[in-house]
Amino acid sequence: MKVEQTAGKNGAISRTTSRMKTHKRRRIRYGRLSAALLILVMLITGLTYIFIGMTQWIKDYVAPPPITAIEQPTKLGMIAMTPDVKEEPVRFQGQVRKLAYITFDDGPSEHTATLLDILKQHEAKATFFMIGRQLNQHKEVVERLVKEGSYPGLHSMTHNYNKLYKSGSSSNFVKEFKKEQKMVQELIGFTPHLIRAPYGSSPQIGEKFRGDIAAAGFKMWDWTTDSLDWNLPGQPDKIVDRVSSSVHRDKEVILMHEREQTVQALPRILKMLEDRGYEFEVYDPSAHWIANFSGDTRL
Ligand SMILES: [Zn+2]
């Protein structure tokens, strides 16, 4: 405002000079503003990098993934990724048969015998995905499980996330499963080929990794229904509800674990499945079908 008034009094030349001065001042002002903005952007970028770095560091060193037989929390996020199994329905005399494959992970354990007792009451068999390092402590129940027609599937030696996946290579993973396969062979005289990847095959197992598993002679199953039982201690009702609200396919592979709450929920789960017209099936190597998250036909 002041500039315009001065310019009005002193004529054209002064006006031009004033305008130039104003431009100069504006340039300086914009210059300062740009510098401030640049510093701000650099500061934010720097802080972001530090934050990402720290998060990664915390992830890697302060809180590594659980190394025990407890399933990782990301499994919760995997529900949405579980696709329908795109297979031809099994028919018997023109009727579509509804098949439920009950699977138990993380055994053998002190619960295996009770699970087998409950299965027996429903004339059901199950597929057990067992951890290698627990086999020798529960030798008898592993023998019983096979004798009663259940399938002794493999679930790695250690169930250790870092050991199995952190390098990104399949070599430790394949090594662990081969070792466990040999252990089962020596223990019961049967060589299982069906595996279940600890924490599921997605997202940690990519296409090349899957090829390596297939090349080592294994088949791999994930699941179609996650009971979330591992995360519901003391809440067998919720486990029953969860399975009940999830099953709807002609073929269901139901993920459960050898846990106290699962033992409590199992009779009701089996009853509910029977009432809904399901027959219980156990994995049959001679009638293998694809049940991995990626739909990979090599597995
Ligand atoms: Zn597991």
Same domain? For 128 and 26 the reply is: no
Same domain? For 54 and 82 the reply is: no
Catalytic, 296? Answer: no
Q: Provide DSSP, the chain.
A: -HHHHHHHHHHHHHHHHHHHHHHHHHHHHHHHHHHHHHHHHHHHHHHHHHHHHHHHHIIIIISPPP-SSSPPTTHHHHGGG------PPEEETTEEEEEEEEEEEEESSTTHHHHHHHHHHTT---EEEE-GGGTGGGHHHHHHHHHTT-EEEE--SS--HHHHHTTS-SHHHHHHHHHHHHHHHHHHS----EE--TT-STTT--HHHHHHHHHTT-EE---SEE--GGG-TT-HHHHHHHHHHH--SSEEEEEEES-HHHHHHHHHHHHHHHHTTEEEE---GGG-----TT--TT-
Same domain? For 151 and 213 the reply is: yes
Residues spanned by the domain of 149 = 75-287
Q: Which of 63, 87, 116 is the endpoint of a domain?
A: 63
Residue 175 CB: number of other CB atoms within 10 A? 15
Q: Please enumerate in sequence order all residues whose Cβ is within 8 A of that of 240, keeping only pairs 6 or more positions apart, or say none.
A: 265, 268, 269, 272
Q: Decide if 68 is inside a domain.
A: no
Structure tokens at 33: 């503003």
Same domain? For 200 and 166 the reply is: yes
What pLDDT was estimated at residue 33?
Answer: 73
Same domain? For 32 and 90 the reply is: no
The catalytically annotated residue of 105, 106, 222, 229 is 105
Same domain? For 177 and 270 the reply is: yes
Q: Decide if 293 is inside a domain.
A: no
Q: Decide if 234 is inside a domain.
A: yes
Nearest Cα to Cα of residue 130 among 149, 117, 111? 111
What pLDDT was estimated at residue 24?
Answer: 57
CA 199 to ligand 1 centroid distance, Å: 6
CA 68 to ligand 1 centroid distance, Å: 9
Number of domains in the chain: 2
Same domain? For 129 and 9 the reply is: no
Same domain? For 11 and 124 the reply is: no
Q: Decide if 256 is inside a domain.
A: yes
Q: What is the pLDDT of residues 5-51, one digit of tens each?
A: 444 444 444 554 555 555 556 565 666 777 777 777 677 766 766 56
CATH number at residue 121: 3.20.20.370
What pLDDT was estimated at residue 136?
Answer: 95
What pLDDT was estimated at residue 89?
Answer: 73
CA 250 to ligand 1 centroid distance, Å: 25
Q: Which of 63, 83, 105 is the endpoint of a domain?
A: 63
Using CB atoms within 10 Å of the CB of residue 133, give its burial: 0 to 12 exposed, 13 to 18 middle, 19+ buried.
middle
Q: Which of 32, 63, 94 is the endpoint of a domain?
A: 63
What pLDDT was estimated at residue 92?
Answer: 75
Q: Decide if 296 is inside a domain.
A: no
Q: Which residue ranges of the chain lie beneath pLDDT 70?
A: 1-31, 41, 45-46, 48-88
Q: Are strands 251-257 and 194-195 parallel, antiparallel or unpaired?
A: unpaired
Same domain? For 96 and 229 the reply is: yes
CA 230 to ligand 1 centroid distance, Å: 9
Alpha carbon distance 122, 82 (integer Å): 27
Same domain? For 120 and 206 the reply is: yes
Contact between 133 and 155 (Cβ < 8 Å):
no
Q: What is the pLDDT of residues 32-44, one digit of tens each?
A: 777 777 777 677 7
Same domain? For 253 and 156 the reply is: yes
CA 155 to ligand 1 centroid distance, Å: 7
Q: What is the pLDDT of residues 144-157, one digit of tens each?
A: 999 999 999 999 99
Same domain? For 108 and 256 the reply is: yes
Catalytic, 275? Answer: no
Phi, psi of 148 (to 5 degrees): -90, 10
What pLDDT was estimated at residue 38?
Answer: 74
What pLDDT was estimated at residue 34?
Answer: 74
Residue in the block written with tokens 């027609």: 149
Q: Decide if 292 is inside a domain.
A: no
Distances from the Cα of 131 to the Cαs of 160, 197, 284, 285, in angstroms? Answer: 10, 11, 20, 20
What pLDDT was estimated at residue 111?
Answer: 98
Q: Decide if 294 is inside a domain.
A: no
CA 108 to ligand 1 centroid distance, Å: 11
Q: Decide if 70 is inside a domain.
A: no
Q: Which residues surround ligand 1, an ion (CB under 5 A)?
A: 105-106, 198
pTM for this structure?
A: 0.73
* Cα diameter, the chain: 110
The catalytically annotated residue of 138, 155, 159, 257 is 257
